[in-house]
Structure 1
Amino acid sequence: MATHYGQGYGIDTKPGHPGSPGEQRHRLPAALRAPVEGRTWRELGYVLLSLPISVLLFTYAITMVSLGAGLLVTFLGVPVLAAALAGCRGFGALERARARGLLGLEVADPEPLRTKRQGFMAWIGAVLKSGASWRSLLYAVLQLPWAVFSFTVVVTFWSIGWSLLTYPLWFWLFPMYGGQGGMQLYGDEQHRIYLDNPFEITVTALVGLLFTIATPWIVRALTTVDRVMVHGLLGPSRLATRVVELESDRGVVVDTAAADLRRIERDLHDGAQARLVNLAMGLGLAKEKLREDPQVAAQMVDEAHGEVKTALQELRDLARGIHPAVLTDRGLDAALSSVASRCTVPVQVEVDLTERPAPAIEGIAYFTVSELLQNISKHARATWAAVEVWRTENRLMLQVVDNGVGGADPSLGSGLAGLAERLDAVDGILVVDSPAGGPTRVTAELPWRAERTR
């Protein structure tokens, strides 16, 4: 499986739409089954409904905006204009729901109104200052001409296609009730050409078949413009989306920092601090035994010396977990080689960087590879692994590969999910490709930020 972490919207996700999980393979080519597919009929229904809805929306928007603009010389113009924009926002919600139901288009709601104070005047100001309100008004104005065009094209092609395709079934109406041999192709005062013999009827049906086959793709192309309009004008702006992402990333960073602080406190309390307490008690006992039994006191001092060495090693490991000195002094190549040497399987490290990234990005890259190698040691049951680091334009790329049993799934809430959140906090991406039976390939992508003076 391949897992991408990132935010996206405006994607067809309903079964029956291309790319959806519920899509199944068909024996008939797409061109032949398109005229009878459910997607085609939903898109046709969307186009047909667009005309009356756009007329209603356009009429409301133009009437209310014109009324509000005309009343701006008085105080009443401002609330009327705000009501016009609020109504357009309401229509926008209905249009998003219609696009979701008929086009399978998932569009997030635009940014809500932000008011610093309570009250009617504060609400009016928020509506007038909201970019989403004015985009909804622009949608109301642009939707009508496009709806008229798409309605005309679709109805014309659809009616011509099906009427010609079914012509062999109803051409008998002309001689029986119309007094002519068939559908008239040309006529003047002297000559008239009717489609009345078997060959002409067959050719007419074939032409209708071509129109019928082409019409769904024309409808699909026209609704693509509707998708763009709904997504661009009725969805959240890029700036608002970016603000939401940054707020979410800030929360992840804060939670990660708090978790790291708790881990450091726990390691200090349960590790070095406990050993130093035992060391102090042991030295105190040795001091008391020094005069009574110097040999026992010497043995206790020797044990205390061993405890000091162990405590120092734990403190070094803790400091390395916070930020290893080798990373600061010598860079990613040496730091990753040091991590690889502690892995339980042989690891080949290849770092192809002509310069060093910013310390923050370098640290994230180091801890990403470190955690992935720990996962290999604990869970992969691999016999070898490889680490590659390189730069592509303005991105720092990391790849860790092993020949283990595979089956790593970030969606199950493993450490990979937390690692992906950390990368996402700095606009990074994590891709996991780990089929059952292996091999596992984890690729991380980080923004490249040049190293500043350290």
Structure 2
Amino acid sequence: MAADKGRNNVTNPNAGTALLRGAALTGLAITEALQLLWISLCVCLTVVGIGVPLLPRAINGARSLTALQRRLARQWTGVTAEEEYLPLPDRPGFVGDLHRAWTMLGDRSTWRDLRWLLVNPFVGPVLGFLPVVAIVEGLWGLTLPFIWEIAEKDWGWDDIWFAFIPVNSQTTAWLAAGLGLVEIFVGVILARVLQRVHGRWAGAMLDGRSRAELARRVQHLAVTRSDAVSHQAAEIKRIERDLHDGAQARLVSMGMTLAAVETLLQKDPEQALAMVTDAKNSSATALRELRDLVRGIHPPVLADRGLVDAVRALAMSLPLRVEVTADVPGRVTPPVESAVYFVVSELLNNVIKHAHATHASVDMRYVDGKLRVTVHDNGVGGTDPERGTGLKGIERRLLPFDGVVTVFSPAGGTTDVAVEVPTEIVTAD
């Protein structure tokens, strides 16, 4: 997609510019062939040690040439080809050169560049210089009606051929001129077409984003999986602690109370009735704690009415005026709903605790396949994601969904926290 956008922004060059670019690409291909020969010589010289300090510099030269090819492909044809190299050690001296050479030769990107230096000197001149050859030959054909007799009589040319046409009369000379005109026209068209072909060829050969992006994706998934497992373990421990210290303790106490009531029911009915009343109060308290625990796991209003109404209900329960606006055409996936709800809840709690604000707002929108939520407050500002664990916890909560958190909070000003999570609408309004 990025390459397509780039192509839309590249202007179509005129014939002269396209021919000059083709000649430049041909010269660059010849330079690459010479650079490959130099690298091969440096590899051979490493056997006697002389090539060890030369090889990293030679490979850097190859990287500079392929970087120039990528830049020209992007500027001239809009094709984006990117590459990432392994970091090189900074150790000085012979040992450092040896380590750098070893690191470079162990880098996949180096071998991609060397493959380009091996193949492009054969392909590049064909794509870059073929239009020039066609135009030059076409110009030669245009001159034949005027010089063929001179060439035959005065210059001693016995057999004059233009492509498949034997030029031995004025008629065949004019046929050659017509064919030459066609070659010039074809060469002008080819100059533009083959330039685009060369850009796509460079993009296909030199673009290392697929492997680099795959490696980053694997690393990202490993981090998010670890965070998700840690977050889930922490939630399970919290639920266990709340159940053990709250509802479970009350239910055990209620069971002991009812057991005591059985023994007192005949002897002291009044005390037994008082204990039944205590047990009833304990059951109500335990039920309320269980409801609070369930609400902390997944609020019923979120399950019943969706994210927008759940956030509105949350805003009404806060001791702060919170305005909620939304433009979401339906319900997003349940895991994203739950994560974003608790993110908004934590952000609003942070506003109440730390911002000294008198007003806050929550704006929710679904744009281009992403749910975007912005929480704004008119507090004192100065929120720093690097200090404290609140915003870091929010980022970790959203990492499994590839969510992004952006904070704008200048000291003494208002605070805006924007959350963006890729998701899809599963139930339309």
- The 5-angstrom pairing of residues 243-322 of structure 1 reads 243-322=218-297
Equivalent runs, 1:176-255 vs 2, <5 Å: 237-255=212-230
Deviation at 1:336, TM superposition (A): 0.9
- Cross-structure match for 1:12: none
Q: Tell me if structure 2 keeps the 8 A contact 1:89–1:133.
A: no
Question: Which structure has the larger Rg?
Answer: 2
Alpha-carbon deviations, 1:202-224, whole Å to 9, x = none?
xxxxxxxxxxxxxxxxxxxxxxx
- Residue type matched to 1:260 in 2? E
Q: Which residue of 2 aligns with 1:190?
A: none
- C-alpha distance in structure 1 between counterparts of 2:58 and 2:219, whole Å: 22
CA pair 305-403 structure 1, distance change in 2 beyond 3 A: same
The amino acid of 2:243's aligned partner reads L
Structure 2 equivalent of residue 425 of structure 1: 400
1:58 aligns with 2:61: no
2:427, 2:338 → 1: CA distance?
14
CA deviations 1:62-81 (Å, max 9, x no partner) are 56999xxxxxxxxxxxxxxx
Partner residue of 2:331? 356
Cα distance change, pair 441–323 in 1 and its aligned pair in 2 (3 A): same
Q: Give 1:134's aligned residue.
A: 111
Q: Shift of the alpha carbon at 1:346? A: 1.9
Give 3-state SS (helix, strand or coil) of 2:224's partner. Answer: helix
Match of 2:391 among 379, 402, 416: 416
Task: For 2:234 and 2:214, locate their aligned partners in 1 and report how far apart those are by CA, in whole Å.
Answer: 30
Residue identity opposite 1:382 in structure 2: A
Report the Cα distance in structure 1 between the residues aligned to 2:352 and 2:272, rounded to whole angstroms.
Answer: 42
Q: Secondary structure of 1:446's match? A: strand
1:419 CA displacement = 0.6
Q: Cα offset for 1:108?
A: 6.4
Higher relative contact order (CA 8 A, sep 6+): 1
Alignment of 1:320-339 (within 5 A): 320-339=295-314
Deviates more, 1:232-241 or 1:371-380: 232-241
CA distance, structure 2, for counterparts of residue 251 and residue 89 of structure 1 = 41
Deviation of the 1:248 alpha carbon: 1.6
Gap regions ≥5 residues in structure 2: 1-31, 45-54, 68-82, 88-103, 122-202
For residues 228-286 of structure 1, what are the alpha-carbon distances to aligned partners after superposition, in whole Å with 9 as ceiling and x for unaligned?
9xx96599622222222222222222222122112111211122112212222222223
| CA distance in 2 between partners of 1:288 and 1:347 (Å) | 55
Matched letter for residue 86 of structure 2: D
**Partner Cα distance (2:412, 2:389) in 1:** 18
SS of the residue corresponding to residue 421 of structure 2 reads strand
What runs of 5+ residues in structure 1 fail to find an aligned partner?
1-53, 67-86, 100-105, 111-126, 145-227
Deviation at 1:289, TM superposition (A): 2.4
Hey, what's the Cα distance between the residues in 2 that align with 1:279 and 1:361?
39
Q: 1:448 aligns with which of 404, 423, 428?
A: 423
User: For residue 347 of structure 1, what is the amino acid of its counterpart?
Assistant: V
Letter in 1 for 2:415: T
Give the match's secondary structure for 1:388. strand
* Pairwise CA distance, 1:140: 6.2
CA change 1:130–1:418 in 2 (3 A) is same
Number of equivalent positions? 273
Distance 1:90 1:326, change over 3 A: farther
SS at match of 2:376: strand
Alpha-carbon offset, residue 134 of structure 1? 3.1
Q: Which has the higher helix share?
A: 2
User: Aligned partners of 1:274, 1:438: CA distance in 2, in Å?
Assistant: 47
Partners of 2:392 and 2:212 lie apart in 1 by 28
Which among 86, 109, 121 is matched to residue 109 of structure 1? Answer: 86
**Match runs of 1:329-408 below 5 Å:** 329-408=304-383
The alpha carbon displacement at 1:381 in A equals 2.2
Equivalent residue letter for 1:422: R
TM-score (norm 2): 0.55
* 3-state DSSP of counterpart to 2:382: coil
- Give the distance between the partners of 1:139 and 1:89, measured in 2 at CA: 18
Provide the TM-score with structure 1 as the length reference: 0.52
- For 1:310, the aligned partner's letter is T
Amino acid in structure 1 at the alignment position of 2:111: W
C-alpha distance in 2 between matches for 1:355 and 1:364: 17
Q: Deviations over 1:327-358 (max 9, x none)?
A: 12111122112211222212112222122111
